[in-house]
Amino acid sequence: MISKRVYVAWFGIHFFLIAAVCFAGLFSLVAEHATILPSALDTFARKAELAAAWPLGKHAGGTNPLRRSIATYLHAAGIQSGYTFFAPNIPGYHKLIFELNYPDGRIEYESPHFKGKAAALRLDSLLTRLGDNRYEPLREVVLKMLALSIWRERPDVKKIRATFGSVSPPSITDFEHGKGESFQPMFSYDFSLRDENRR
Amino acid sequence: MKIGGSGPGTAQQTGEIACLEPRTAMPLLRRQWQKLLEFLFPPETSTWLAVFRIGMGLQIIVYALFLGRDWHSLFSTTGKGLVSRELGEAIASFDSPVIPKLGWLVVFGQRIGFGEETVLSIAWACLLCIGFCLLLGLFCRPAAIVAWFLHLCAAESGGLLAYGADNLMTMALFYLMLSPLPDPYSLDYRLVKIRAKDPQLLGFWRRVLQVHLCFVYFFGGLAKLLGSGWWNGSNLWRALIRPPFNLLSPDILVRFKYALPVLGISICLIEIGYPIFIWIKKTRFLWLVCILGMHAAIGLAMGMYLFALVMIVLNLAAFGVGIRVAFVGHPATTTRHPH
């Protein structure tokens, strides 16, 4: 059996990394002013987030071997992200609507979908990420892929307009007064098979 | 740092720790080290590992079956999948190029003449078979390693489509693969007579699981407490009416609107109190029941079956096996129990 000291050392390092990931995630929420804490703490929280992420090698360059080793271990152990599920608040959700334009002038509306319910949860995860500004550089690429999947099913479509937006569900009081959810478009793209241009 | 106290092995007078003579400081450190070892390496039976293995086997089977119909849409490359697998893998490679991905298997398959679709189908079938192997306890250790590897590949290649349950599954399979398998309830043990190499590590790996769950709930509860929506119940309302979690009709939820703030605060308190009350003998059963109830409710009311199942399995393995109900008499046992 490997010495108990080795196991104790591994235990210490492992949970130190988990704590660093969790604290970095928590301070990030505070810094983004997503919590009930006063905004005066934002600057402190940003510094604390950087300090917590320091042991994870985030300060080093992307190709730094230590940073990559730590990242590999975190991914392998499934501890690369914190546990702030459904926290601190649950925002509205996002919706992606494809407007399918046919050569005869007909217009149909479609949303990306999977066959199973379990995969539908993953689609929701994708749309939440697309709404996040950190994923802005990926938006057009991902929407293009999703539009392409529509084209595979309906090759006769001439043009696709993808509209992405956030949906604000009604509060309980609003719901009792008969109000429904509201859709706020965030951005849209037009795609055609021959050329794509951003709108 | 001031140290006070009396008795053998402690300083008689207060003073700087640096001034303590080695003969008094060393026993103190040795005792602390001994206490740490006793905490990390408690005597333990292998029942918890059997529960963990069977539970994760079931989890892998459910994972494979639930994603079966969409497996190719999720993990095919550009032009075939809904979102290209290559995008997810590129994001993972940005963190580190040596994180396992399904792309590795596809490249390997192409070298021996298999197409992408065939490789993905084989990977899915392997995952399903491995789930049954874990469930039955057949080839326990290799099955746990392959399950961890294949699931990690799928989770990383899924990239933008991954969510919390994937990380928790990877974590659980990571610990399972390192635990001293096989357990006495497995077919490996009963039929092939394979024995675990380091059964004295049973207690250690259960401790790791227990401490990890404390981290999960503490940080989850703390983050929720920092959101106003958990204090007034609006977060529960929003969670339950938004697609794809809206299995319950809002009309039904409105009837319980006064219960939502209480439920919201209760969830926060149960989670943040977990690292304390799950260790106290008198509250352990109650806390475990509350946390299992919460996950069962999440699974049934929001359709998050995979997430609910993995959390239930982790909790049962970590704290459920060998639990005693407080205030209920138990027959005396001759075996030493960790709790």
In this complex, do A75 and B152 lie within 8 Å of one another by their Cβ atoms?
A: yes
- The pair phi, psi for residue A167, each rounded to 5°, is -115, 125
The distance of A104 to chain B (nearest Cα, Å) reads: 26
User: Best of A35, A64, A86 to disrupt the B interface by mutation (most B CBs within 10 Å)?
Assistant: A86
In this complex, do B241 and A169 lie within 8 Å of one another by their Cβ atoms?
A: yes
For position A198, what pLDDT does the model report?
A: 43
For position B197, what pLDDT does the model report?
A: 84
Closest to A29 (Cβ–Cβ): which among B152, B226, B233? B226
ipTM reported for the complex, 2 dp: 0.91
In this complex, do A84 and B223 lie within 8 Å of one another by their Cβ atoms?
A: yes
Residue B63 to residues B172, B264, B309, B315, Cα–Cα distance (Å): 14, 29, 10, 19
Instruction: Sort out which chain A residues have CB atoms less than 8 A from B81's CB and list them.
Output: 145, 149
For position B21, what pLDDT does the model report?
A: 55
- The pair phi, psi for residue A110, each rounded to 5°, is -145, 150
Query: Which runs of E-coded beta strand occur in A13-127?
Result: 93-101, 107-110
Closest to B239 (Cβ–Cβ): which among A81, A90, A119? A90
- The pair phi, psi for residue A191, each rounded to 5°, is -125, 140
d(CA B313, CA B8): 46
In the predicted structure, residue A2 carries a pLDDT above the cut 80: no
pLDDT digits (tens), chain B, 339 positions: 333 333 333 334 444 444 455 566 778 899 999 999 999 999 999 999 999 999 999 999 999 999 999 999 899 886 677 888 888 898 888 889 999 999 999 999 999 999 999 999 999 999 999 999 999 999 999 999 999 999 999 999 988 888 889 999 999 999 999 999 999 999 999 998 888 888 889 999 999 999 999 999 999 999 999 999 999 999 999 999 988 888 999 999 999 999 999 999 999 999 999 999 999 999 999 999 999 999 999 999 999 999 999 999 999 999 999 887 766 665 554 444 444
The number of residues in chain B equals 339
Average pLDDT, chain A: 90
Closest to A119 (Cβ–Cβ): which among B74, B222, B230? B74
Taking only residues 96 to 115 of chain B, the set having a beta carbon closer than 8 angstroms to any beta carbon of chain A reads 96-100
Instruction: Sort out which chain B residues have CB atoms less than 8 A from A123's CB and list them.
Output: 82, 161, 244
Q: Are A171 and B237 in contact (CB under 8 A)?
A: yes
d(CA A77, CA A56): 14
d(CA A112, CA A130): 14
For position A194, what pLDDT does the model report?
A: 63
How many CB atoms within 10 Å of residue A125? 18
d(CA A146, CA B182): 45
Q: Are A56 and B84 in contact (CB under 8 A)?
A: no
For position B4, what pLDDT does the model report?
A: 36
In this complex, do A77 and B171 lie within 8 Å of one another by their Cβ atoms?
A: yes
Domain boundaries, chain A: 4-77, 93-198
Is the CB of A141 inside 8 Å of chain B's CB atoms? yes
Chain A CA closest to residue B40: A8
Instruction: Sort out which chain B residues have CB atoms less than 8 A from A62's CB and list them.
Output: 94
Closest to B223 (Cβ–Cβ): which among A26, A76, A121? A26
Domain boundaries, chain B: 46-197, 217-339
CB pairs under 8 A between A and B: 224
Q: Which residue is associated with the tokens 């703390």?
A: B222
How many CB atoms within 10 Å of residue B41? 17
DSSP state string for A82-107: ---TT-S----EEEEEEEEEPTTS-E
Closest to A145 (Cβ–Cβ): which among B41, B78, B173? B78
For position B329, what pLDDT does the model report?
A: 60
Q: How confident is residue A75, by pLDDT bands cut at 50, 70 and 90?
A: very high
